[in-house]
């Protein structure tokens, strides 16, 4: 009976956290959204909370050009990877952050981890190819660009992103 009670309590906490998280998605004010995410985390910490908090800090940091927010986003993404190391988006964001900070080797490791987690995603392979093109690693660029050509975008959004990447690559020739 204790197991049933414990399971019910966990389910209740998860459902409360999920409802609060869903409310945070509708919030336009980043401070209010963060407050909601922190509240949801206290009920039941699940990955979407970390993803949401990371995005908010990352976007505020970019908008305000304030490294403290970017640093907090980095900490949150690392925490999320600690919880589930199989989510490629967290590695992608860390790659962006490290590249922005000029830590090219760390960025490369994150992008490689991203592609390793989701090797069939055309967008991720192209992003890694572009990374290598920017840093004049032409052999690596070709490897991932050729790989990306063999893949098909999964969503309309990914198709549009890939199209923009193709234009950028052509403009660099």
Task: List, for residues 115-167, the tens digit of each pLDDT value.
Answer: 999 999 999 999 999 999 999 999 999 999 999 999 999 899 999 999 999 99
**DSSP output for 61-113:** HHHHT-HHHHHHHHHHHHHHHHH-TT-HHHHHHHHHHHHHTT-HHHHHHHHHH
Mean pLDDT along residues 71-78: 91
Mean pLDDT of the chain: 86
> Cα separations (Å) of 31 from 24, 38, 57, 87, 127?
10, 11, 10, 26, 31
Beta strands in the chain (DSSP E): none
Q: Which of 83, 14, 7, 3 is nearest to 50 (CA)?
A: 83
Q: Where are the domains of the chain?
A: 122-173
Q: Is the pLDDT of residue 34 over 80?
A: no
Residue 38 has pLDDT above 80, yes or no: no
Read off φ and ψ for residue 119, nearest 5 degrees.
-65, -20
Other C-beta atoms within 10 Å of 61: how many? 20
Least confident of 6-15, 79-88, 91-100, 155-164: 6-15
47-64 helix and 88-100 helix, angle to the nearest 10 degrees: 20
Specify the residue for token string 């920017």: 134
Q: What are the tokens at 136?
A: 């004049």
């Amino acid at each position: 009976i204790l197991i049933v009670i414990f399971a019910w309590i966990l389910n209740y906490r998860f459902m409360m956290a999920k409802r609060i998280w869903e409310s945070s998605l509708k919030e336009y004010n980043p401070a209010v959204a963060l407050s909601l995410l922190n509240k949801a985390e206290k009920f039941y910490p699940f990955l979407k909370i970390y993803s949401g908090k990371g995005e908010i800090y990352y976007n505020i940091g970019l908008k305000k050009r304030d490294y403290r927010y970017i640093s907090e986003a980095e900490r949150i993404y690392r925490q999320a990877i600690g919880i589930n190391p199989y989510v490629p988006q967290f590695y992608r964001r860390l790659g962006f952050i490290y590249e922005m900070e000029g830590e090219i080797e760390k960025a490369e490791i994150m992008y490689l981890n991203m592609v390793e987690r989701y090797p069939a995603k055309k967008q991720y392979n192209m992003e890694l190819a572009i990374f290598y093109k920017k840093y004049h690693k032409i052999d690596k660029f070709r490897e991932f660009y050729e790989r990306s050509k063999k893949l098909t975008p999964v969503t309309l959004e990914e198709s549009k992103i890939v199209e923009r990447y193709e234009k950028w690559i052509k403009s660099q020739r």
